A and B are shown apart, each in its own frame.
Chain A
Amino acid sequence: MKHYEVEILDAKTKDKLCFLDKVEPNATIGEIKSMFHKSHPQWYAARQSIRLDPKYAGPLLLYLMFYFRVPFIYAPKYDFTTSKHWVVHLACMCHSFHYLKRLLETLFVHRFSHGTMPLRNIFKNCTYYWGFAAWMAYYINHPLYTPPTIYGEQQVRMALIIFLFCQIGNFSIHIALRNLRPPGSKTRKIPYPTKNPFTWIFLLVSCPNYTYELGSWFGFTLMTQCLPVAFFTAVGFIQMTVWAKGKHRSYLKEFRDYPPLRSPILPFVL
């Protein structure tokens, strides 16, 4: 039976406090707290507070507020109504799935090799994520929203396939990267394709997690045909390209035998 490994970090310093092996998939937060209590006897369950990353929880909740047309956003006659377009429901599911996946990944998948993020960055980060989420959600869930007109239903279907493909791809890469690094260590290795076909993109790209992330948002843009989404995708693309180029450069510096065929983020192009 598959088990989760749960890493508990200090909220302030992000130091690894505890590593819980063999957490059952259906374990409750209460059970996780009692497992943590075993290794840290002074923190009994009631003294523990396990929090969701607000950076990703924000967009998740904000979008839903627009989706359910909470009062004071749109005209009062639309309060608590839902859109008549099925693509709007689909978009909500995709957006929510994406941020839920991110939240779960930060809780259960990612291993960090360095400690704190400066407070100023958290503020800037949150503003970026929350701001864009609200801007996108406002238009997609607007009573006057226009579903994709260029290729209609075909466009939405294609977009959904791209989105899901890239979400699975992104998740596969996160798992592959996490498995590169043994728990609690800071060793760095070159990532290579695994048995999972979604990781075969490592042959062509250094940071396929960014490639798949870009693909997901590209799919979402196609699905919603909404200019603010296109903007968000473009800005994310620029930022991720900067990060990918930096990571690619540090791989090249650190490893003499780094595969020469790989590009930072887009195969053969960028």
Chain B
Amino acid sequence: MASTEEDGSAEEKETNNKKRTKSAIAVAWLTFYNIAMTAGWLVLAMAMMRFYIQKGTHKGLYKSIARTLKFFQTVALVEVGHCAIGIVRTSVIVTGVQVCSRIFMVWFITNSIKQIQNEESVILFLVVWTLTEITRYSFYTFNLLNLLPYFIKWARYNMFIIMYPLGVAGELLTIYAALPFVRKTGMFSMRLPNKYNVSFDYYYFLIIVMLSYIPLFPQLYFHMLRQRRKVLLGEIIVEKDE
């Protein structure tokens, strides 16, 4: 009797430990992933700097780094998966919205509307994204290795205060610059009559996208501010249960 009881409780302890600490595989994968992403965005940063130093202009810069950008930004989709399966403790929705907005900018704006690729606003958000991502992914890497230098933690939770609004400005200005070209070509749009009885106007869709920044950006911004208060200032914030 006594031995079976012992076995039972020992098993329980094992499963409890599994639940409390992440599995070794998850940690290994996340470490690899974050190192790879840090490297990727570092490569992007260096390519951008090299182009500007060599050519002295930003015209043609986007085109030169487009493939690398598309690759590393698209791969970021797996982060939604990380949240969904629980190996990263962040909301799926928050991560989803952030990654989707990036994918949208890269694939449906800058990649598809070639005429705006040399706009200054593109350089603006590219620089912001690069600085933000290098900080973010190196933060995750060092965190996983339990070797986090304070200055990385400081950077991760302070740079966004300026980077976020600058990035939003870059994105909005780019979409705004794209509008006349979208209107002229009628791209991604579908008109009546057609056998699916639906219509879609990409021009008005983009306007709605721009307007949606108004409710969405503050939510993401204040989410980061709350995280900052918790992590850097040690505040205990009681979340309202929805």
Within 8 A of A (CB), among B189-213: 192-199
Scoring A140, A224, A226 by chain B CB atoms within 10 A of each residue's CB, the highest score goes to A226
Q: Is A144 an interface residue (CB 8 A)?
A: yes
Check B192 against A144 for contact (C-beta < 8 Å).
Answer: yes
Scoring B193, B194, B197, B198 by chain A CB atoms within 10 A of each residue's CB, the highest score goes to B197
Q: Contact string, B167-205, partner A, CB cutoff 8 A, digits 1/0? A: 000000000000000000000000011111111000000
Number of interface residues of A (CB under 8 A): 12
Check A224 against B197 for contact (C-beta < 8 Å).
Answer: yes
User: How distant is A13 from chain B, measured CB to nearest CB, in Å?
Assistant: 23
Q: Which of A140, A142, A146, A228 contacts B195 (CB 8 A)?
A: A146
Q: Contact string, B26-63, partner A, CB cutoff 8 A, digits 1/0? A: 00000000000000000000000000000000000000
Check A145 against B196 for contact (C-beta < 8 Å).
Answer: no
User: How distant is B139 from chain A, measured CB to nearest CB, in Å?
Assistant: 35
B interface bracket (residues with beta carbon within 8 Å of A): under 10
Q: Is A49 an interface residue (CB 8 A)?
A: no
Cα A149 to Cα B197 with chains together (Å): 11
User: How distant is A89 from chain B, measured CB to nearest CB, in Å?
Assistant: 16
Cα A224 to Cα B195 with chains together (Å): 10
Check A146 against B198 for contact (C-beta < 8 Å).
Answer: no
Check B192 against A225 for contact (C-beta < 8 Å).
Answer: no
A139 partner residues in chain B, CB cutoff 8 A: 192, 197-199
Cα A227 to Cα B190 with chains together (Å): 12
Residue ranges of B at the interface with A (Cβ–Cβ < 8 Å): 192-199
* Contacts A146-B197, A224-B197, A227-B197 known; 10 new A-B pairs at CB < 8 A: A139-B192, A139-B197, A142-B197, A145-B192, A145-B197, A146-B193, A146-B194, A149-B195, A225-B195, A226-B196
Residue ranges of A at the interface with B (Cβ–Cβ < 8 Å): 139-140, 142, 144-146, 149, 224-228
